[in-house]
Amino acid sequence: MSASRGQELINAFAAMIVEFQQPEQIWPLMLSTLQECIGFDAGYIAASWGSATEGRGAVAAHDEPFLKRNLGRYLAEILPEEIAQYADRARIHHDVWSRERQKELSVFREVLDPTGMQHMIVRVSISHGNVAGFNLERRYDEPFTTSDLGLVDTVAPFLHIVEVLTLRSQDEGRLDDFCEKHRLTKRERELVSFAARGLQNSEIGILLSISPNTVRNTLAKVFEKVGVTNRAELTYLTAQPSSEGNRAGITPPRSHLPPDGLQTFAARVKAATASSDARQWSSSASPRTKIVYTPPLSALTT
C-alpha cells in the first residue's frame, strides 16, 4: 500500500465525517468509497453500541433482512478466540476459518460463506464500548492483496469515530457560549467539541490531519484557559446550561449503560485479543453495487 493512497483514503473519510452528521449518510458513503478504492462486489460495515438492537451500518449486495435477523445469533456461535483473529488487523477469511469449522456453522452459511464468494477480508475492532468491523467479498478469482488489507486497517478507526460523533449529541449553543466566555480560538473550539463528545487524541488527530501531540498540547492550553485539569471536568463544563435557557446537553456515553450480552461478548473478544494463545490460534475491481443503510432494529419497530 502506498502512503499516498492510504492518506487519500483517510482524507476522504475525514472529510465525509466532518461534512455529514447522520449515520444513514456516512455509512453507505464510507462503504462506497472503500469499494471504489479496493474493489469488491459484496459486503457490509456493521457497528453495534450498547445492545444488538442498536446495530447499524451499510450493506452491499447482501440479503439485508437476513443479516438483521441472524447476525446476532451467528456471532453467538463464534468463539472469542476466532473473532480475536480479526481484531485490530485485517485478515483474509480463509486464513482463519478451516473448511471444517465453516461446515459446523453451516446454518449461517450465507453470512459466513456467501454463495459464489471466493475471497473475503474481515476486520473487527472493539473501542468506546462498541463492536465494529468490515466484511468485504469478491466473487471472482482475483484475491485481495496485502495493500488491500493495509487500506482496510488504515480506515478502521473511522468506524468508532462515526459512532462516537453520531450517537452523542451536543448543544452547539452551549459550546459557543462556553468558548466565547473563555476566549477560545476557532481551532480550540473544534478540539473541545470533539474531546467533549468522547474522541481520544489519536482519533481527533486522524479526523483533522494533525498529530496527537498537537491535539494534546492544544487541549493543555484550553485546560489552562478554562481552569480545569482533565477532560472529564472540561466535558462537564461544556454541558452546563447556557445563558439562553435550558437545553438538552451531551447525552451520557452509551458505554455507561448496563452491560448486556453484546457487551459481554465484546469484553471476551477484547480479552482474547490480548491473549498470546488467541494470537496463535488459527486453522490451517468489481462492478458498483447498490449500497443501503441499515438502521437499528429498534428504529424499525417504533
**Confidence tier at 125 by pLDDT (50, 70, 90):** confident
In sequence order, the 6+-apart residues with CB closer than 8 A to the CB of 227 are none
Label residue 144 by pLDDT band (50, 70, 90).
very high
- Which grid coordinates belong to 140? 471472482
In the sheet that holds 291-294, the strands lie side by side as 91-92, 119-127, 130-138, 42-49, 56-60, 291-294
Mean pLDDT of the 119-123 span: 91
> How far apart are the C-alpha atoms of 215 and 218, rounded to whole Å?
5
Range with lowest mean pLDDT among 48-62, 98-112, 118-132: 98-112
Output the pLDDT for position 51. 61
**pLDDT of 41:** 85
pLDDT tens-digit profile of 178-220? 888 899 999 999 899 888 888 889 999 998 889 999 999 999 9
Q: Which of 78-92, 148-162, 252-266, 274-288 has the highest mean pLDDT?
A: 148-162
Q: Count Cβ atoms below 10 Å from residue 92 Cβ, excluding itself.
A: 17
CA–CA distance, 119 with 157 (Å, rounded to integer)? 23
| pLDDT, greater one: 22 or 67 | 22
Question: According to the model, what pLDDT value does residue 221 have?
Answer: 94
Predicted local confidence at residue 75, as pLDDT: 66
Q: Examine the pLDDT at 287 and tell me if it is beyond 50.
A: no
What is the reported pLDDT for 201? 92
pLDDT in tens, 241-265: 654 443 333 333 444 444 455 667 6
How high is the pLDDT of residue 245? 40
Q: By three-state DSSP, how is residue 14 classified?
A: helix
